[in-house]
Chain A
Amino acid sequence: MLPELGHFAVALALAVAILQTVLPSLGLAFKRPALLALAGPAARWQFALLVLAFLTLGYGFLVHDFSLIYVANNSNTALPWFYRLSAIWGAHEGSLLLWIVILAGWGYAVSRRVHELPADIGAIVLAVIGFVGVTFLLFMLFTSNPFARAWPAPIDGGDLNPLLQDVGLIVHPPLLYMGYVGFVVPFGFAVAALIKGRLTAAWARWARPWTLAAWTFLTVGIALGSFWAYYELGWGGWWFWDPVENASFMPWLLGTALIHSLAASEKRGVFKNWTVLLAITTFALSLLGTFLVRSGVLTSVHAFATDPARGVFVLGILGTIVGGSLGLYAWRGPRTLAGGSYSTISRETFLLANSLLLCVATMTVLLGTLYPLVLDALGMGKISVGPPYFNRVFVWVMAPLIVLLGLGQSARWKEDSLHRLLIRAALFGGGALVLAAACAVSLAPDSRWRAGAGLLAAFWILGSVLAGIVQRLPSRSIWQTLRGLPLGFYGQALAHAGFAVTLIGVTLTSTQTIDLHTRAALGATLSLGPYEVTFDSIRDLEGSNYRATEGQFTITRDGELVRIVHPQKRFYQVRGVAMTEAGIVPGITRDLYISLGEPLGDGAWSVRMHIKAFVRWLWFGALMMALGGFLAVRDRRVGQPQLAGLEQTNALGRTS
C-alpha cells in the first residue's frame, strides 16, 4: 500500500510540476500577477510530495519490502540499516528519484526567497525548475519507476553492490547532486534575463549566491568521491579520469568559470551576456553528465543502441532544454561580448581570459570523454582515452590559467598599469621560484623538474593570494583592516589558497609516492622507504553480510612503533564478490597505505604497500575551496541590494 502512495505522490508531483511551469508562463503572457504568484506554492507542494515519495521508498528498504523490484535488487535482510537507507540511491531508479527530490529542493529554496526578487523574475526561475522537473518526472515514471512491484516477492533481496557499502556512499551522491542539480537556479535566472531582456548587474547579484552554493556542494561532493575511491578501491588511486568522474568534473570547471564571470558582472557590470551563456552551458553539462551516467552509454555504446529507451529519453530532455535555452540566447541575447568600460590591463580582462581558459579545459575533458564513444558509434574503431591523455593535455591548459590567475589576483578593476603589475608579480613570483627551487633540490633527481614545476605553480598562486591581502593593509591598525574586509574577500582568498594546496597534493603524490607490490610471508619484515613493515598474522572473521580475511601488519620506523594496521579482504556472499579494505595510517606529509592481495600459498600473501606523499592535501585543498565558497555565500553583500546598475559600473574599481 505504501509504495503505491509513493508512486501516487510522484504522479501528483508531476501534475504540480506542470502547473508550476504552465501557470507562471500564462501569468507572464497575459500579465496576471495572481498566476505568477502561484509558482511559489507549486514549488513547495512539489517538494513536499517528492519528499513523501522518497520516504516511502526508504521505508520499503527499512522493512525489506522485496515486492518492490528496486528494493529486491538492491537490498538484503543481512544489510545493516544505514546501508539500507543509502541503498535508496544505490542504483539507477533511486538515484533518479534523489536527483528529482534535490531539484525540487532547490525549487523550494528559491520559493522561500522569491519575495526578494521582482515577481516576474522569481516566477520564471521557478517555472524553469518546474519544467526540468516535468521532464525528469516523465522519464522516471515511463522508464525508471522505483515503485514497480513484482509478485510473488522474492524471499530475500539481491544485496547492495558491495562497492557502495560504505559511509562514503551515504553522503557522496547527495552532495554531488546538490551541486550539479543546483546549477539549475542560475540557469533559471539566465532564462529569466533572456525572456525579460533585462540583463542588469542586479541579475548577476541574484544569481551569484545560488551559483556559489551549488558550486560549494559540488566541490565537496567531488572531493568526497575522490577520497572514497582512494580508500575503497584498494590501490590508492584518487582520480581516474573515468567518464563518470568527468561527468561531474565538467560542470565543476564551467561552474568555476561562471562564479568568476558572475563576480565581474556583479561588481563591474561587464560580460553579462557571457555570464548568461556560461549559466546555460554549466547546467547543460550537468544534464549531459546525467545522460552519460544514466543512459548506459558508458558501459557500451552497443548496449545503448539495442535498448535505447532510457538513453533516447534523456537525450530528448537534453536536446529540449539545452536547445531551447541556447535558441533563446541566440534570439534574445545581447550582441556584444564587452559592455561596461575597462582597459586592456585590468582585473576584468584577466577574469575573462581565465573563464575562457576554464572553458577550454572543460571542452578538453569533454573531447576526451566523448571521442571514443563517437568513434565507436560511427563504427570508426575502438580507442581508449585514459589518464595518460588527460594528464598530458590538461597540464598545458592549466599552465596559462595558473599564470593568469596569479596576475589577475593582483590586478585592479577597471584599469591597471602593466608596469605596476609586473613589478608586483616579480616580487611574489620570485619568492615562489626560490621556494620551489629549494624544495625541488631536496627531492629525488628523476622527479625533480616535474615536482618543481607543480610546486612553483602552487607557490605562485599562494604568493598572489598573500600579496592580495598585504595590498589591503594600510599603515594604520592591521587588525582593524583585517576585520573590516568583507567575508567574500576571505572566501576568494581561501578558495584560491585551497586550489594551491590541492595542486601541492597532486604534484607531490604523483611524483613522490613510493609503491611496493610484493610477496609477504607470515612473520616477514619488509622495508618500505624509511619504514619497516612486519606481517604479523592473518585471521578469518565474520561480518554482518560478508566474510573477511584480516591481516595484521606492524609498522615501525627506526625501531619505534608507528601503527598496527588491519587491512581486510572481504567476500560478500550474496553477490559473490570480493572487496579490499586497505589499512591506512593517515598523516600530514604522507599516508601509509597497505592492502592485502591474494594468498600465494605457504601462508604468504601478495601485498601492496604505498607511501602516499602529501595525499591528504589534495582533499584538504578541496575543502578549503568549498569553505571559501561557503564564506562567499555568507557574505552579506552578496545577493543583497547595494549599489546597482550605472552607479556601480562607474564606481572606481575597488577590489574585494
Chain B
Amino acid sequence: MGGTLWLGCVLTAAAADIPQTFADLLHAARYERLLEELRCLVCQNQSLADSNADLAQDLRNEVYRMVTAGQEEAAIREFLVARYGDFVLYRPPMKPLTGLLWFGPLLLLALVAMIWRQVARGAAAPSAPLEDADRARLQALLGSRPD
C-alpha cells in the first residue's frame, strides 16, 4: 500500500500549492501538459501536477518560469533532463537502452500474429484421421469420464 516516501508526497502539509496564471492560453496548455509528463523526483510515483511535495512546487515554479519566458516544450524537457536525468520524464526517451521498452509490444504483436496464422492455417487443413493409439486413448478418456 505504498511506501512512506510516497505517502509523504501525498500527505505532507505542503508549503504552497499556488495556482498559476497565464496571459497566453498556449502557455497554460503547455504548462499543464509538461506537468502531467514530468515526475515528482522525491515521490514514489506521482507527476508534478499531482504532487504536494515541496520539491514538486519548486519544480512547478521552475517550469512556470520557463514556459512564461516563451521556451519551447522540448527545450524545457532538455533542461530538466540535463539537471535530473531521464528519471524526471514519465515518457521515457527513445534510445538504445529503452528500445525494447518501446518496440517490445510491437514485437509481441508480430509474434502473436505469426502464432495465430500458424494455428488458423492448421485449422483450415483437414484433420488427419485418428491413429489407432489415439483412438484407444480417446476411448480411455471417454471411459474415464466422471459423469
Contacts and interface: CB of A to CB of B under 8 A. Distances in A.
A383 B98 contact: yes
A342 B87 CA distance: 50
B141 interface: yes
Contacts of A381: 85-86, 97
Interface string A345-371: 010110011001101100110011001
Interface string A384-425: 111111001100110010000000000000000000000000
Interface in A247-299: 293, 296, 298-299
Contact of B119 (A352, A385, A386): A352
Given A117-B146, A387-B36, A645 B2 contact: no
Interface in A567-581: 571, 575, 577-579
Interface string B85-128: 11111111000011011101100110010011011111110010
B58 to A, nearest CB: 15
Contacts of A382: 85-87
Interface string B59-94: 000000000000000000000000001111111100
A95 interface: yes
Interface in B18-42: 18-20, 32, 36-37, 39
Nearest to A235: B50
Size range of the chain B interface in the assembly: 35 or more
Contacts of B92: 383-385, 389
A8 interface: no
A385 B90 contact: yes
Interface string A206-248: 0000000000000000000000000001010100101110000
Contacts of B133: none
A478 interface: no
A386 B39 contact: yes
A393 B102 CA distance: 8
Interface stretch (A55-63, A157-165, A553-561): A157-165
Given A200-B141, A364-B108, A342 B147 contact: no
A364 B105 contact: yes
Contacts of A481: none
B14 interface: yes
Interface residues of A, number: 79
A538 interface: no
Most buried by B among A296, A400, A575, A577: A577
Given A338-B123, A385-B92, A360 B19 contact: no
B17 A598 contact: yes
Given A382-B85, A384-B87, A299 B112 contact: no
Contact of A360 (B2, B18, B87, B105): B105
Nearest to B16: A598
A91 interface: yes
A485 interface: no
B145 A644 contact: yes
A360 B7 contact: no
A392 B36 CA distance: 14
Contacts of A91: 1
B136 interface: no
Given A198-B141, A388-B36, A389-B91, A341 B105 contact: no
Interface in A303-344: 336-338, 341-344
A349 B122 CA distance: 11
B73 to A, nearest CB: 13
22 contacts: A200-B141, A233-B50, A235-B50, A298-B3, A338-B119, A341-B123, A349-B119, A349-B123, A360-B105, A360-B109, A363-B104, A371-B100, A382-B87, A383-B86, A383-B98, A386-B91, A389-B90, A389-B101, A517-B19, A519-B18, A577-B11, A646-B138
Interface of A: 90-91, 95, 117-118, 161-164, 198, 200, 202, 233, 235, 237, 240, 242-244, 293, 296, 298-300, 336-338, 341-344, 346, 348-349, 352-353, 356-357, 359-360, 363-364, 367-368, 371, 375, 380-389, 392-393, 396-397, 400, 515, 517-519, 571, 575, 577-579, 597-598, 600, 606-607, 641, 644-646
Q: Which 10 A-B pairs have the closest CB atoms?
A: A386-B90, A299-B3, A577-B11, A641-B147, A388-B91, A597-B17, A578-B13, A382-B87, A356-B112, A598-B17
Interface of B: 1-7, 10-20, 32, 36-37, 39, 44-47, 49-50, 85-92, 97-98, 100-102, 104-105, 108-109, 112, 115-116, 118-124, 127, 138, 141-142, 144-147
Given A392-B91, A393-B102, 6 more contacts: A117-B146, A198-B144, A240-B46, A298-B44, A397-B105, A644-B145
